[in-house]
Amino acid sequence: MELLRFTTAGSVDDGKSTLIGRLLYDSKSIFEDQMEAVKQSSERKGLQHVDLSLLTDGLRSEREQGITIDVAYRYFATPKRKFIIADTPGHIQYTRNMVTGASTANLALVLIDARKGVVEQTCRHSFIASLLKIPHIIVCVNKMDLVDYSEEAFNKVVEQYEAFAAKIDVTDIRFVPISALAGDNVVNDSENMPWYKGESLLHTLETIHIASDENHSDARFPVQTVIRPHADEYHDYRGYAGRIAGGIFRPGDKITVLPSGLTSAIKSIDTYSGPVEEAFAPMSVSITLEDDIDVSRGDMIVKDDSEPQVSQDLDAMICWMATRSPRPGAKYHLKTTTREVMSIIKEVYYKLDINTLEKQEENTDIKMNEMVKIRLRTTQPVVFDEYRKNRITGSLILVDESTNETVAAGTFL
């Protein structure tokens, strides 16, 4: 069984909570006592319907205000796949939460109200999905029951969306007409829309091909820690522990350690269950080398056929996540894979309006939730790939030197 991580974004009234509630309920992932608690809470509030959003809004302040503030993770499984939903709020002031949810997703669910068509929020979600290189988007045209299940209404939304999508960089976009409330095309095919020849949403989620989303061509192994057992049996053992971030490693492969440039060959790839002949992303393994060379946390082991970039001057697209704007000349810990170096923001190129995708070059003071293209200068070389080539070796966060807060998340360009 494979794991599929997907993200949703939206506000209460576009039916996101109802859709998630339905996926969880119809896949029997909501238990009777959870449902009972939600029913009782709904009754106490004097609501006529069971409010499924109570299942997803966990924190006290969220229950009080009736909105999702933070990213909430939901789980369900069918006999075919296990799913992790990163459920995020949709308002512009929660852009950073959407970015967080999108960072680990293989797929984005974009909800559109069939009556309203493509709105600002639709574009924002899709643009974030494209910036974070989510390979697949499923556009759910929801509330089809309110437009008499009309094919024409559906086609109009599809046309609108496709016109917008020409501006973003996502290769796989699919459309499903649904009614989350009535259940049409969510789990089962709808009898109300015989004109729709595609699959139901759940069927698409279960079968969409994701195995080739990992980069299996450029071998990358960021070293987390060095394993040195203090036992006679493994006296000389020196294993480099880490999680493969791309490509395929095999014993005998010639490798280079970056940024030092030292070279060697792989002696063995070890796991608790025994040595393996091949290791690929996202496996956690330990690698031993033929030569006794200097390798430590923060280094990256790569194969000679494709090397990443190594530089102290870096261009990145960042989302600013802190309430406080960057102070002039402030230093940040830049973290990427297992490497950590000091950095400063040298230049702000432009700000992206995430509703219109327009670049603003005049007003470049950075505020929370804004997307900005910047140049960074670091004290030590950074080993990285362009984000579009590899989402692990192409991503970074900035940590404030004085508060220790994560103030920005970014992608290398």
Partner 1 sequence: MHKYYLTHLQELESEAIYVIREVVAQFDRPAILFSGGKDSIVVTHLAKKAFWPAKIPMPLIHIDTGHNFPETMEFRDKLVENLGVQLIVGSVQESINKGRAVEESGINASRNELQIVTLLDTIESNKIDAAIGGARRDEEKARAKERFFSHRDEFGQWDPKNQRPELWNIFNGRKRMGEHFRVFPISNWTEMDIWNYILQENIAIPSLYFAHQRNAVYRDNTWLPASEFLQLREGETIENKLMRFRTLGDITITGGIESDADTLEKIVAEVSATRSTERGNRSDDKRSDTSMEDRKKQGYF
Distance CA(151)–CA(144), nearest Å, equals 9
Distance CA(115)–CA(144), nearest Å, equals 8
Distance CA(254)–CA(308), nearest Å, equals 15
Q: Does the protein bind partner 1 through residue 258 (CB under 8 A)? A: no
**What three-state secondary structure class fits 270?**
strand
Q: Does the protein bind partner 1 through residue 67 (CB under 8 A)? A: no
**What three-state secondary structure class fits 24?**
helix
Smallest distance, partner 1 to C-beta of residue 23, A = 14
Q: Does the protein bind partner 1 through residue 238 (CB under 8 A)? A: no
Q: Does the protein bind partner 1 through residue 28 (CB under 8 A)? A: yes
Within 10 Å of residue 269's Cβ, how many Cβ atoms? 22
Distance CA(342)–CA(377), nearest Å, equals 9
CA torsion sign for 408, 409, 412, 413 is: negative
Helix (H) or strand (E) holding 103: helix 95-103
Question: Which of the ranges 9-17, 74-82, 192-200, 376-384 carries the binding residues for partner 1, by CB under 8 A?
Answer: 74-82
Q: Does the protein bind partner 1 through residue 74 (CB under 8 A)? A: yes
By CB under 8 A, name the one of 12, 146, 182, 227 that touches partner 1: 227
Distance CA(191)–CA(180), nearest Å, equals 14
Closer to partner 1 by Cβ: residue 166 or 211: 211
Looking only at residues 94 through 153 of this chain, which bind partner 1 when binding is defined by CB under 8 A? 96-97, 99-100, 103-104
Q: Does the protein bind partner 1 through residue 289 (CB under 8 A)? A: no
Question: Which of the ranges 32-40, 154-162, 188-196, 374-382 carries the binding residues for partner 1, by CB under 8 A?
Answer: 32-40
Q: Does the protein bind partner 1 through residue 242 (CB under 8 A)? A: yes
Question: Which of the ranges 171-179, 190-198, 200-208, 225-233 carries the binding residues for partner 1, by CB under 8 A?
Answer: 225-233
Q: List the structure tokens of 81.
A: 């796949």
Confirm if 329 and 345 have CB atoms less than 8 A apart.
no
Distance CA(302)–CA(249), nearest Å, equals 9
Q: In b/e form, how buried is each residue of 118-150, taking b as 16+ CB within 10 angstroms?
A: beebbbbbbbbbbbbbbbbbbbbbbbbbebebe
Q: Does the protein bind partner 1 through residue 69 (CB under 8 A)? A: yes
Q: Does the protein bind partner 1 through residue 405 (CB under 8 A)? A: yes
Q: List the structure tokens of 219.
A: 């071998």
Q: Does the protein bind partner 1 through residue 72 (CB under 8 A)? A: yes
Phi, psi of 381, deg, nearest 5 = -65, 145
Closer to partner 1 by Cβ: residue 233 or 294: 233
Q: Does the protein bind partner 1 through residue 46 (CB under 8 A)? A: no
- Annotate 301-347 with DSSP letters as a single string: EEETTS--EEEEEEEEEEEE-SSSPPPTT-EEEEEETTEEEEEEEEE
Window 378-397: contact mask with partner 1 (x via CB under 8 A): -------------xx--xxx
Window 293-332: contact mask with partner 1 (x via CB under 8 A): ----x-----------------------x-----------
By CB under 8 A, name the one of 92, 115, 167, 234 that touches partner 1: 234
Question: Which of the ranges 66-74, 249-257, 260-268, 306-314 carries the binding residues for partner 1, by CB under 8 A?
Answer: 66-74
Half-sphere CA count of 17, side-chain side, radius 13 A: 18
Smallest distance, partner 1 to C-beta of residue 272, A = 4
Closer to partner 1 by Cβ: residue 36 or 304: 36
Q: Does the protein bind partner 1 through residue 195 (CB under 8 A)? A: no
Closer to partner 1 by Cβ: residue 81 or 267: 81
Question: Which of the ranges 146-154, 170-178, 231-239, 307-315 carries the binding residues for partner 1, by CB under 8 A?
Answer: 231-239
Q: Does the protein bind partner 1 through residue 371 (CB under 8 A)? A: no
Smallest distance, partner 1 to C-beta of residue 34, A = 6
Closer to partner 1 by Cβ: residue 246 or 259: 246
Within 10 Å of residue 312's Cβ, how many Cβ atoms? 14
